[in-house]
Amino acid sequence: MVTSYRGFTRFNQQRNSQMAVNSSSSSLPPSKTLLDVIKSLDGVSTEIVDRSKTIFFPGDPAERVYLIRRGAVRLSRVYETGEEITVALLRENSLFGVLSLLTGHRSDRFYHAVAFTRVELVSAPATSVRNAIEQDASVGLLLLQGLSSRVLQTETMIETLTHRDMSSRLASFLLVLCRDFGVPGEKGVTIDLRLSHQAIAEAIGSTRVTITRLLGELKSSSLLAIDRKKITIFDPIALAKRFN
């Protein structure tokens, strides 16, 4: 059973609430953003990572903090059985790789971070970020706001992957993409990512063949359209109701 019908509205309410918090924090200068903070730190660097390329592996030293400037990053957990489960799909301006900041000492990476699309990343040494927090409390608040969004994204993906039925899982995942990457238009909500069937399959633990078949069924039901690997959901609520 898909809970995304009610959840789709809830996700948007939470997202709007988070935006309101960001805009109403009187202790922060209006123009100050996470990108501004990271770019101002010692040792900052910018890099381009092609789709499907690894940013860091589980067990790698947690030496840098990353901010997505463009594109999307998939965080997954690899288990002893070899199964890899997606725990978050991060959008632009999302922060990740911050475990060492939370623990207060150098740690190893807990997740596998992969470029879900071609991404532009801005990163800085964890020590520089920690020093900035100690020197300016507003920086810590800004980072906390970014982390709260990250937690919501993880909870959403966990909810999506609890669906055993792959049709329901795909529908939930598409609604997540609508929320985080959707651009409203005359025909519906277009997911602003170029998504291959293989990429979707990897994200939700399916196969390319299965995803191709299920997307074909959704197209035949006039629930979505695909043009140049961009998916448009005509009515997200109708999609959610279909599997509710």
- Give 24-75 as a DSSP string: H-TTS-TT--HHHHHHTSTT-EEEEE-TT-EEE-TTSB--EEEEEEES-EEE
55: pLDDT strictly greater than 90: yes
**pLDDT surpassing 90 at residue 241:** no
For residue 100, give the 3-state DSSP assignment. Answer: helix
Mean pLDDT of 13-33: 49
User: Over the stretch 124-154, which tens digit does the pLDDT of each residue have?
Assistant: 998 898 888 888 888 888 887 777 777 777 7
Are β-strands 189-191 and 64-70 bridged in parallel, bridged antiparallel, or unpaired?
Answer: unpaired
Report the C-alpha gap between 243 and 234 in whole angstroms: 15
Q: Who has greater pLDDT, 166 or 25?
A: 166
Q: What is the pTM of this model?
A: 0.74
Kindly report, residue by residue over 187-232, the tens digit of the pLDDT.
Answer: 999 999 888 898 899 888 889 999 999 999 999 999 999 998 899 9
Pull the structure tokens for residue 114.
Answer: 């992969």
Query: So what's the pLDDT on residue 108?
Result: 63
Tell me: pLDDT of 24 over 80: no
